[in-house]
A and B are shown apart, each in its own frame.
Chain A
């Protein structure tokens, strides 16, 4: 017991030091949110009066979302206020505050909110250990870029700590290697070409723009899923199991399926705490679609303080609504698997095109650039420069081959410890060799670190 306690304190302090390596003072912010929600959670559980529970939940929401709003959206909100005033004829000077965005704030705020929410809904009992709760929030593998872990999944694991088994450790190591390969070898090699084209899209011809768009679709998937794999693999090596965050989303046959496979921890969080809180599908068809659209708009806004992200969320929300309507007309469940070669081909193609085109506003700096890029992609641009890097082509090829080789419901990292020794040696050696030979080590930040 004493060893377990020491181990958890060690992990907690290590996680704080890890967070401080980004910007030391912000560990106080992390401690503040942790402590406030820990005590609010206990108070909610102790309280019998619903008004008090409402008040406490409101306090948690206000503190957490208020902090998030300040650090992430202050300049955006003041600028929108100024624009609104100007529409009424009142001219105000633009205000810009130099606010540093704490790394991972969107992730750990959501994680902490899920804890108080679950207690409020009676789904979870509060933990009596501030240390365990702090470790749940600050655990370094998932602190700065997810996955957004639920207290119901992680706190019991912290409570009854068991030594990691060899197979679990190896599975974690395999996943970590795979994640590092995706990030350092594939994503970071694609990044320069993508950055080059998105920096000034009007110069480039249609082929180059399409290649860059596909490159960004590959880059963001490889970058984010690579980090998630490394985080989940690292936790698994220590004996903690997190749920997968990505499950081959580009093999989805519908937009609904895409959101069951892309950033699963965020999509389930939005479903459980935003969509269901707004009423979900319990208040009629129209209200269901409105709730879905609003949830996706907020999901877009979560990614960044810009209308571009809201537009991205809106495109996905609209696509989800259209899919729901379509399934309703065909009398099918939107989550049911698509069957038949024709429907699969049509579904996959449409989903892929919508998802890839939606990346345009996500990546571009503003609406102007996004519309310029879109026009260029569909053939109405004026750019003439043609340049496609071999790294981009190689990265796309490897990604496509990987998607074709593995089934979308297959978990290679879980299966591999069962394989023969020579297979495992060959697989791990290949990944490790690729990382040391082709891995990029200059600072190419993880895309989702900015969220």
Chain B
């Protein structure tokens, strides 16, 4: 009997479709193993969001929630800001974060807290999708925000397609991250050969929340080839001409400001500058006007919110203040923080 069962089993396994199925399963598994191995060997990091509270320094009892991406981390000396204003700040953010992600980093307790949201034309562009979007924003929320095709069919598809793609990254952690793979591999090889790393700004993951900004280099140090490569890379990330500023991100910002409009709290939206080179190469006049219009409408809808536009400050329109196309160096941070403090000091907040 056992012999006949064995013979039957062998007969089934030898069938062509069975072989193909087993081949498919083995190939799938080997690809997943290869992907996990590469991610492990190169030291992949998947930081979805960061939270960093500062020590309470002032007389305010409620915390001030501060939201932003790496742009904020490099542009604003938050310790100096909270110390000068006497705030107890809880800082939250994610890579290339926008109000669409910040909305879900808020928790219910923030409804009666003050908010300061740092964003920019770069992050508010609907073409720019944060790597943390799918982890923080539920799929149904994105469907609801794009149901009326405000983004257009192509951008809606791109956004919604990220959800299954990011789920596949659980099985294949390197899927869709070939740029990161190549950068980390290059750095590993350089380290093995005893060479220093490539210029930091060319590529690679950026520290979301640097403890201090001591970078002295600037865009003016870049050669033309490096500039062109980075501009093209930025364009391919989806931050491009004719940006849309009326989609899910703008709607999320609306909801945040509406929800947190409580007596005794303040809402501040700070528009951070990006480099003049970024504006001239990646954003056309139409998009700049659309962004201006979006902010005017936002102010109309939320007259109690304070919108501080540092992106229009002539003093900050200087490539020498940026170490890459959008992140500020130490000089940029000092100037931007000082300007922000000056604007806050000249404004009467509710608290």
Contact = CB atoms under 8 A, between A and B. Distances in A.
A381 interface: no
A442 B153 contact: no
B19 A166 contact: yes
B211 interface: no
Interface in A364-401: 384-387, 389-391
A189 B165 CA distance: 19
Contacts of B38: 437
Contacts of B236: 192, 195, 442, 444
A395 to B, nearest CB: 12
B20 A166 contact: yes
Interface string B1-40: 0000000000000011101100110111011101100100
B158 A443 contact: yes
B130 to A, nearest CB: 14
A188 B228 CA distance: 18
Contacts of B199: none
A425 B31 contact: no
Interface stretch (B57-65, B138-146, B170-178, B327-335): B170-178
Contacts of B31: 429, 432-433, 435-436
Contact of A441 (B26, B175, B226): B175
Interface in B174-194: 174-176, 178, 181-182
Given A170-B20, A196-B229, A385-B228, A436 B175 contact: yes
Given A189-B178, A437-B35, A443-B158, A428 B27 contact: yes
A50 to B, nearest CB: 46
Nearest to A427: B27
Contacts of A166: 15-17, 19-20
B34 A425 contact: no
Nearest to A169: B20
Contacts of A444: 236
Contact of B23 (A203, A424, A436): A424
B178 A440 contact: yes
Nearest to A442: B236
Contacts of B223: 385
B237 interface: yes
Contact of A428 (B23, B32, B174): B23
Nearest to A20: B153
A385 B224 contact: yes
B238 interface: yes
B232 interface: yes
A212 to B, nearest CB: 12
B34 A433 contact: yes
B233 interface: yes
Given A169-B20, A387-B225, A421-B19, A432 B28 contact: yes
Interface in B241-300: none
Given A173-B24, A203-B228, A421-B23, A441 B176 contact: yes
Interface-centre pick from A21, A203, A387 (highest chain B CB count, 10 A): A387
B30 A432 contact: yes
Interface-centre pick from B20, B176, B178, B181 (highest chain A CB count, 10 A): B178
B224 A203 contact: yes
Nearest to B32: A436
Nearest to A439: B178
A20 to B, nearest CB: 10
B157 interface: yes
A69 to B, nearest CB: 25
B20 A389 contact: no
A442 B31 CA distance: 20
A445 to B, nearest CB: 10
Contact of B157 (A21, A200, A384, A441): A21
Interface residues on A, range: 35 or more
A438 interface: yes
B174 A196 contact: no
Contacts of A433: 30-31, 34-35
A415 B236 CA distance: 38
Interface-centre pick from A23, A384, A387, A437 (highest chain B CB count, 10 A): A437
A436 B35 contact: yes
Interface-centre pick from B26, B30, B225 (highest chain A CB count, 10 A): B225
A438 B178 contact: yes
A322 interface: no
Nearest to A21: B157
Contacts of A385: 223-225, 228
A22 B157 CA distance: 9
Contact of A436 (B34, B182, B224, B237): B34
A425 B26 contact: yes
Given A166-B16, A386-B225, A421-B19, A432 B27 contact: yes
B181 A438 contact: yes
A243 interface: no
A355 to B, nearest CB: 26
Given A170-B20, A438-B181, A196 B157 contact: no
A425 B233 CA distance: 35
A4 B21 CA distance: 24
Interface in B108-160: 153, 157-158
A55 interface: no
A77 interface: no
Interface in A15-60: 21-24
A385 to B, nearest CB: 5
Interface-centre pick from A23, A165, A173, A429 (highest chain B CB count, 10 A): A429
Nearest to A387: B225
A345 interface: no
B263 to A, nearest CB: 45
A421 B16 CA distance: 11
A439 B232 CA distance: 18
Contacts of B28: 432
A199 interface: yes
A387 B228 contact: yes
A429 B17 CA distance: 18
A167 interface: yes
Contact of A196 (B26, B182, B232): B232
Nearest to B158: A443
Contacts of A428: 23, 27
A400 to B, nearest CB: 20
Given A173-B24, A424-B23, A437-B38, A196 B228 contact: yes
Contact of A391 (B20, B27, B182, B224): B182
24 contacts: A21-B157, A22-B153, A165-B16, A166-B19, A170-B23, A173-B20, A189-B178, A195-B236, A199-B232, A387-B226, A390-B182, A391-B182, A425-B23, A425-B30, A428-B23, A428-B27, A429-B31, A432-B31, A436-B31, A436-B34, A436-B35, A437-B178, A442-B236, A444-B236
* 3 A-B pairs with the lowest CB-CB distances in the bound complex, closest first: A166-B16, A387-B225, A432-B31
Given A425-B30, A429-B31, 13 more contacts: A21-B157, A22-B153, A24-B153, A167-B16, A199-B232, A385-B223, A425-B27, A436-B174, A438-B178, A439-B175, A441-B175, A442-B236, A442-B237
Interface of A: 21-24, 165-167, 169-170, 173, 189, 192, 195-196, 199-200, 203, 384-387, 389-391, 421, 424-425, 428-429, 432-433, 435-444
